[in-house]
């Protein structure tokens, strides 16, 4: 265990002297990695299944078509929803400059997807002057150009807020007001509102909308229709859902699907 209580996972991909190294593993539904960190930055991507990734600052929903940039030494935990085919990349420090200094969800273009899969087919010590070197250079370019998506839901620390968050994740369509949640969480609505502002910098309504849109994006990426995704996360009006989705992600729900 490390000094901060997290388990530093050391893999061969973190020790090889290459700018990046690919990692492929399939997980069963419901698996949990536990809190850990890596010495190298990661690009977490899955060709199948949804990953729920938690960091100290935020929670991320990562469906196929999206990837999560995790900086080196950042503590995180991955939970799988359905069977997950993870195809991740580890970046050496000098190559990690193409990424972010904080965790961020990236849009994965068809080209980047194929590049990740091609990197997974290369040997660990690929030829830097050959195909592996060309793949690594293209991956660096695509990661740097990939759109950053607002799929982060600020994490909550207060036990009362966490109980509220667990209830909403279980039922994103819940119509309960903050006052009704307060009665179940053992705190006044005023106290919860103050805690939301203090911990996330946003009010309850905005935090709930952020959570709902992240859940909707995951449903759309798994093939749900915009109407079904809207209903599942609590939108009674398809136009209202479409407007909120476009404002958050810059595309229509149909394009997000």
| The pair of three-digit structure tokens given for residue 233, joined into one six-digit string | 């996360």
Residue 91 CA, chain-centre distance (Å), reads: 18
**Could you tell me the domains of the chain?**
7-149 (2.60.120.810), 156-256 (1.10.10.60)
Pairwise CA distance, residues 11 & 21, whole Å: 10
Q: Which helix (H) or strand (E) holds 81?
A: strand 76-91
Q: In percent, how much of the chain has pLDDT > 70? A: 95
Residue 112 has pLDDT above 90, yes or no: yes
Question: 162 with 185: CB under 8 angstroms?
Answer: no
Q: What is the pTM assigned to this prediction?
A: 0.82
pLDDT digits (tens, 9 = 90+) for 130-142: 999 999 999 999 9
Query: Rounded to the nearest 5°, which phi and psi values hold at 106?
Result: -115, 145
- Measured CA to CA, the distance from residue 239 to residue 237 in angstroms comes to 5
Cβ distance 106 to 140 under 8 Å?
no
- Helix (H) or strand (E) holding 80, with range, is strand 76-91
- Per mean pLDDT, which range of 2-11, 52-61, 206-215 is the poorest? 2-11
pLDDT classification of 103: cutoffs 50, 70, 90: very high
Q: Shortest CA distance to 20 belongs to which of 97, 83, 74?
A: 97
């Amino acid at each position: 265990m490390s000094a901060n209580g997290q388990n530093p996972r050391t893999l061969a991909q973190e020790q090889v002297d290459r700018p990046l190294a690919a990692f492929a593993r399939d997980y069963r539904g419901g698996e949990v990695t536990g809190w850990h960190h890596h010495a190298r930055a990661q690009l977490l991507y899955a060709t199948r299944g949804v990953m729920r990734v938690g960091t100290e600052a935020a929670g991320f929903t990562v469906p196929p078509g999206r990837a999560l940039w995790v900086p080196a030494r950042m503590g995180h935990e991955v939970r799988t929803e359905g069977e997950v085919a993870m195809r991740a990349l580890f970046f050496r420090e000098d190559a990690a400059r193409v990424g972010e200094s904080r965790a961020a969800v990236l849009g994965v273009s068809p080209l980047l997807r194929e590049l990740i899969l091609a990197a997974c087919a290369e040997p660990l010590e690929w030829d830097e002057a050959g195909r592996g070197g060309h793949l690594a250079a293209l991956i660096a370019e695509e990661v740097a150009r990939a759109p950053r998506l607002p799929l982060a839901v600020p994490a909550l620390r207060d036990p009362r807020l966490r109980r509220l968050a667990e209830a909403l994740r279980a039922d994103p369509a819940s119509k309960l007001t903050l006052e009704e949640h307060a009665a179940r969480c053992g705190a006044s609505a005023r106290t919860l509102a103050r805690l939301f502002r203090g911990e996330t910098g946003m009010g309850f309504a905005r935090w709930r909308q952020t959570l709902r849109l992240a859940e909707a994006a995951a449903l759309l990426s798994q093939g749900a229709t915009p109407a079904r995704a809207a209903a599942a996360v609590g939108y009674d009006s398809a136009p209202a859902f479409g407007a909120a989705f476009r404002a958050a992600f810059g595309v229509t729900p149909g394009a997000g699907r």
